[in-house]
Amino acid sequence: QVQLQQSGPGLVKPSQTLSLTCAISGDSVSSNSAAWTWIRQSPSRGLEWLGRAYFRSKWYNDYAISVKGRITINPDTSKNHFSLQLNSVTPEDTAVYYCARDRSIPVAGSYYFGMDVWGQGTTVTVSS
Amino acid sequence: DIQMTQSPSSLSASVRDRVTITCRASQNIISYLNWFQQKPGKAPKLLIYAASSLQSGVPSRFSGSGSGTDFTLTISSLQPEDFATYYCQQSYSTPLTFGQGTKLEIK
């Protein structure tokens, strides 16, 4: 059974860096059939995909334009986890942050992605 | 970005009712459409992927249909545990995007 366990601070000061980690059990961060993803949720923005890291012979990243330039998602193969760093945070970055596995699923000869395993969520408040 | 629009935004229904939620994409996403259920204080739960495939462990009263730009989630006979917020999400292209949600409440 795959599980994701999030850790990191719930309070970050404006202009500082938000750092969260997602520990994976039951799967590998180097899996060729998954993308390791961060999503956040706030009343103003709803569910917002932030980005992902995935391994397909080499490592790739995709990021949302809304946070591009401020975000880094890094896999750590030695610890089997992945992390989120969001720089220069403002109160608008206040949200519940989730990590998720976006798994590639074969359906009728094609492959589709579905976020089938989620972390427990971390409420992050940006405030001085 | 692909915009996902759900309707209705909220819905009141009774146990054993049949309920349908609609999701429209701003461009053709073929069948790259997922549905999630979220309860207060919990992470979203994947119900349906590839527009109509039931995720393992999800009751068969949930079903999805559609392709292209128009999709539906149907709950054939509402159970008390189904009262929650439902989201669609496109997996066709990045940035992956979600609908704004449909809150299903008890009548």
Once rounded to an integer, what is the mean pLDDT over residues B12-35? 97
Pick from B34, B95, B98: CB nearest A114 = B34
Mean pLDDT of the residues in chain A: 97
Q: Which two three-digit tokens encode residue B102?
A: 């449909």
Once rounded to an integer, what is the mean pLDDT over residues A8-35? 97
Beta bridge partners of B22: B7, B72
- pLDDT value for A32: 95
The size of chain A, in residues, is 128
Q: Which two three-digit tokens encode residue B68?
A: 């292209």
Looking up tokens 């949600």, which residue turns up? B101
Name the residue of chain A whose CA is nearest to B56's CA.
A116
- pLDDT value for B29: 98
Contact criterion met (CB < 8 Å) for B46 and A105: no
Nearest one of A48, A36, A51, A37 to A93, comparing CA atoms:
A48
Q: Which two three-digit tokens encode residue B13?
A: 């229904």
Nearest one of B54, B61, B93, B53 to B80, comparing CA atoms:
B61
Contact criterion met (CB < 8 Å) for A98 and B43: yes
Tens-place pLDDT, residues B27-62:
999 999 999 999 999 999 999 999 999 999 999 999
Residue A71 pLDDT grade (very low, low, confident, very high; cuts 50, 70, 90): very high
Contact criterion met (CB < 8 Å) for B50 and A46: no
- pLDDT value for A55: 97
Residue pairs between chains A and B whose CB atoms are closer than 8 Å: 63
Once rounded to an integer, what is the mean pLDDT over residues B18-34? 98
Contacts of A126 (CB under 8 A, 6+ apart): A12, A13, A14, A18, A89, A90, A91, A92, A93, A94
Contact criterion met (CB < 8 Å) for A116 and B43: no
Name the residue of chain B whose CA is nearest to A120's CA.
B43
Asked whether A41 and A96 are in contact (CB, 8 A), the reply is yes
- pLDDT value for A70: 97
Which residue in B2, B46, B92, B102 has the most chain A C-beta atoms within 10 A of its own C-beta, making it the best mutation to test that interface?
Answer: B46
Choose between B107 and B98: higher pLDDT.
Answer: B98
